[in-house]
Amino acid sequence: MHAGKLVFAQVMEFAPWHTFRRLVAKYHGDFNVRRFRCLDQFLCMAFAQITYRESLRDIEGCLRSQPAKLYHLGIHGNVSRSALADANEERDWRIYFEFAQRLIRIARDLYLDEPMAVQIAETVYALDATTIDLCRSLFPWAAFRKTKAAVKLHTLLDLRGSIPAFIHISDGKLHDVNVLDLLLPEPGAFYVMDRAYLDFERLYALHRAGSFFVTRAKSNFTFKRLVSRPVDRTTGVICDQVVELTVYYSIQGYPERLRRIRYRDPEGRPLVFLTNHFELPAFTVCELYRCRWQVELFFKWIKQHLRIKRFFGTSENAVKTQVWIAVATYVLVAIIRKRLDLKLSLHSMLQILSVTPFEKIPLAQLLTDSSRMEESTMDANQLNLF
């Protein structure tokens, strides 16, 4: 007799399945499909993400080892490598893209009150990209160099809770700065970026939309100083200036004044920041840029803990499907963490879920007991990334 729900099924209960069904109908995902439907595909791929499966054969072998429990996982179709491969190749990746976007909106609402390293009321985003190297012969659509293929993951990370607010998947040739054309600027929000995004025309578009940016100046940046403000050099800030551009084409792109802050970090490296916000203390602007490191940690984290470096299919549709289901899985775990009010890190949650998907322990009990155990054994000097 079956009593209680499996841990994996409990995790999936937090997903908005009414939205998923609407998206499947919108993109005709189950048209002429008899057995292995889009829901089965999503559950198998999410299972692979949570349990760290490495290949289609690995997914098939793991799930077929528990045939009596597949129904209780929510998987009603026949699990096979060919069915999963065909689904990844043929089912429209936009189903999983829009489903992940819905999960992201839910997560961002839950993390609105999450504290940040910098005490600031406005929303702060970190924008960056990471490259995933691929084999040119297997992924010819993702051309990058003569002997290499790659896809880029352009991510706009909301620093409250480290939730991705925007993700764009492109081939390796797309320059990072072009992603600024795809963003819908949020008035009053801060966009923190490195030097790769220093394009004055695009930054001026953010400025006109009422958004603020913090970026680093390049070594050949030329300007005319208009005002020098007093600074507290004990914080590492060397100067705080109001400047205007002097190069003709730069002036055409950004005709307004800018704020230039020169800072020496604790390791002695000089850094020069540019921003269009003139009210924040200079040291706060420097701290905002330091928070940009969270997007680097996000890339490192998902590459280590989600299956996006080894793909189960070689087509563009299969790659995008896998990436978006990986993002949806990450955000779903973040939603569970907030709704159950857990102190566990996402890393610890995934470690626990990876070895207990077929258990029948109540999810809240499983993760709460583990949370207490982690608190009692945690090194006080150990830093938590998420």
The strand pair at 212-216 and 190-192 is best described as parallel
Helices (DSSP H) in 123-272: which residue ranges? 200-208, 248-253
Is the pLDDT at 283 greater than 90, yes or no?
yes
Is the pLDDT at 203 greater than 90, yes or no?
yes
Higher pLDDT, residue 31 or 116: 31
Local structure of 263: helix, strand or coil: strand
Per-residue pLDDT, 382: 41
d(CA 362, CA 14): 14
Per-residue pLDDT, 88: 92
Average pLDDT estimate for 186-195: 93
- CATH of segment(s) 194-285: 3.30.1370
d(CA 240, CA 220): 19
Contact 51, 307 (CB under 8 A): no
Q: Residue 86 burial (CB < 10 Å; 0-12/13-18/19+)?
A: middle
Residue 283, C-beta contacts closer than 8 angstroms, at least 6 positions apart: 232, 235, 236, 237
Domain boundaries, the chain: 7-96+312-377, 194-285
Phi, psi of 337 (to 5 degrees): -60, -40
> DSSP readout, 221-249?
--EEEEEEE---GGGTEEEEEEEEE-SHH
pLDDT tens digit sequence for 156-174: 998 887 888 888 988 888 8
Q: pTM to 2 decimals?
A: 0.84
Closest among 286, 178, 197, 295 to 238, alpha carbons compared: 286
Residue 311, C-beta contacts closer than 8 angstroms, at least 6 positions apart: 134, 318, 319, 322
Average pLDDT estimate for 243-268: 92
The residue whose two tokens read 């054309």 is: 181
